[in-house]
Structure 1
């Protein structure tokens, strides 16, 4: 009886290690920026391997906002200081409009210029005020003192 319990424990331990290793691999993959589409002070960033957690998304942005400004020149605030950046999962890639509720990009002169709507993160600033981060799990404000506050 003890031998079976040891085998079962070993299998459970192995399964747990494999699951933990897979989770670590998912979390440590670098974010891939596939494309950036812009319209005035609004930008859509198509990504693969975006962080899962709210904290991971916000930290990724804070770490990479200078890179995004240098490489893609975003955000581009309006004269009032307002801007919006939405990060979309690239998923199955560009597709034709056909299906309901796809996000299409007019800056691409082809029929294959849409993605399935799967927004994972948004950054907004209105009238040069605090920056707002939005995820499916919540909204957060980055105030002028660099404090991140979860909005209730």
Structure 2
């Protein structure tokens, strides 16, 4: 009888740990905004993925929906360079800090602290480069490294 309680307790502890990890330590990435400029498309997110691999996977899964949203807004230049920004503490005035400001958002609160998660460059041949602060990954048109 005591072994049954032990196994049940261990199972409950493991499931609780998994839920804590999934939602507190590694919460889902949420889209805040899309901005378009001559430099490319800026994607602002809350809770970006914690690893390079998860960030690239998130991008590959999210890209069709992002393109759909941009197309609905009449934005047709969808290739080239994409930037993924961490929303962090939210939009702020320009100030003296190193911030990126978005011209399609009304001032004064139209800037974010520069916390780039990743930027993506796509060639016309279909090759993609994923750049992080500390690494670069390249994939060919078939999605292979």
Which secondary structure does the structure 2 equivalent of 1:124 belong to?
A: strand
Alpha-carbon distance in structure 2 between the residues aligned to 1:116 and 1:41: 18
Q: How does 1:40-59 map to 2 (within 5 A)?
A: 40=38, 42-59=40-57
Contact 1:75–1:83 at 8 Å: present in 2 too? no
Higher strand proportion: 1
In 2, Cα distance between the equivalents of 1:100 and 1:94?
13
Task: Find the counterpart in structure 1 of residue 138 from structure 2.
Answer: 141
- Give the corresponding residue for 2:102: 105
Q: Write the deviation string for residues 11-51 of structure 1: whole angstroms up to 9, x where unpaired.
A: xxx8x998765433246522211111101360111100111
Structure 1 CA distance for aligned equivalents of residues 96 and 117 of structure 2: 20
Report if aligned partners of 1:95, 1:112 keep a CA contact under 8 Å in 2: yes
Partner of 2:110, secondary structure, is strand
Structure 1 residue 114 corresponds to structure 2 residue 111? yes
Whole-angstrom CA distance in 1 between matches of 2:55 and 2:95? 31
Counting matched residue pairs gives 130
Which TM-score applies when normalising by structure 2?
0.76
In 1, the alpha carbon distance for the partners of 2:52 and 2:134 equals: 7
Aligned position for 2:62: 64
Q: Which runs of 4+ in 1 moved over 2 A?
A: 16-30, 72-77, 126-129
Number of the residue aligned with 2:29: 31
- Tell me the TM-score normalised to structure 1 length: 0.73
Superposition CA RMSD, Å:
2.6
